[in-house]
Amino acid sequence: MKLLQLTFEFLAAVVSARFAVSIAQSGLHDGTELVRHFLIETTSKGVKLKGCSNEPVFGSLAALVYQHSITPLALPCKLILPDYDPVSAVENITSGQALLEQGAACNVIYLYSLDTECLTGREALRRTVDEALLLASQKKLDPVSVHFKVSSLGITVTDNTRKLFFRRHYAVNSVTYCDIDPEHRSWSATGTRTAEIFGFIARKSVSTPGNACHVFAELEPKQPATAIVNFVTKVMMAPNRTQNCSQ
């Protein structure tokens, strides 16, 4: 559970191991619904989950977190607390392992997503970039700046503009491929600088066969597409995980 302090509220993001009953029954899910967001508001008596009538008021944020590690109450699952202090713990770990635990993030341009069905790998990425550039030439593409984070949990993409979506999470075991555009095409948002295009492929869900390819363009000069792809493939992804629909 990660908390971001606002003026008088906190934003809590909870990753559940299972879908809500209504979502599971509909069969319409891609894995991003496992991430649920809750507001923690302050009151004159303490803090509580906003909009949850069955939640009591806790004297402190620590008390709220501890109680929800015992019983979920209005949350979809109990919170799991670490059994050691990650700040004071001293471990002999490699720099790659440290990055994996902490995660790495940067801003990139989100271009397009395409359902590639059973197609994966280089050809799926090439086809998605083809479609994105075609739509761009027809003025039908709406690229946005997004926050792109890679960690041991997977890839999390947050729309900085909130125009297309809020946040999408792709679990680490769903991401099967990540690379630069095979034809090394570039994207020019302003006409002053061309940006290299890259993308990754993720299975739509554990229960639903098929893949979706998501393509982006680099935005920050100090965070080139090659560095992002290298981090995803070398640190986050296990080898030989590219799969088709029959696997």
pLDDT digits (tens, 9 = 90+) for 200-241: 999 887 667 789 999 999 988 888 899 999 888 876 665 545
Q: Which of 29, 11, 18 is nearest to 78 (CA)?
A: 18
Cα-Cα-Cα-Cα dihedral sign, residues 224, 225, 227, 231: positive
Contact 81, 64 (CB under 8 A): no
Alpha helices in the chain (DSSP H): 21-26, 61-70, 95-102, 121-137, 225-231
Q: What is the pLDDT of residue 234?
A: 76
Q: What is the pLDDT of residue 217?
A: 94
Q: What is the pLDDT of residue 41?
A: 85
Q: Which CATH class is domain 2-70?
A: alpha beta
The pairing of strands 2-5 and 9-15 is antiparallel
Residues of the chain where predicted confidence (pLDDT) is lower than 50: 1-8, 23, 89-90, 92-93, 240, 246-247
Q: What is the pLDDT of residue 18?
A: 57
For residues 59 and 43, give the distance between their C-alpha atoms in angstroms, rounded to a whole number. Answer: 10
So where are the chain's domains?
2-70, 99-236
Contact 110, 164 (CB under 8 A): yes
For residues 9 and 6, give the distance between their C-alpha atoms in angstroms, rounded to a whole number. Answer: 5
Any idea which fold 99-236 has?
PH-domain like (2.30.29)
The helix/strand/coil state of 91 is coil
What is the token pair recorded at 241?
């995980």
Q: What is the pLDDT of residue 130?
A: 96
Q: What is the DSSP letter of 34?
A: G
- What letter represents residue 19's amino acid? F
Q: What is the pLDDT of residue 115?
A: 94
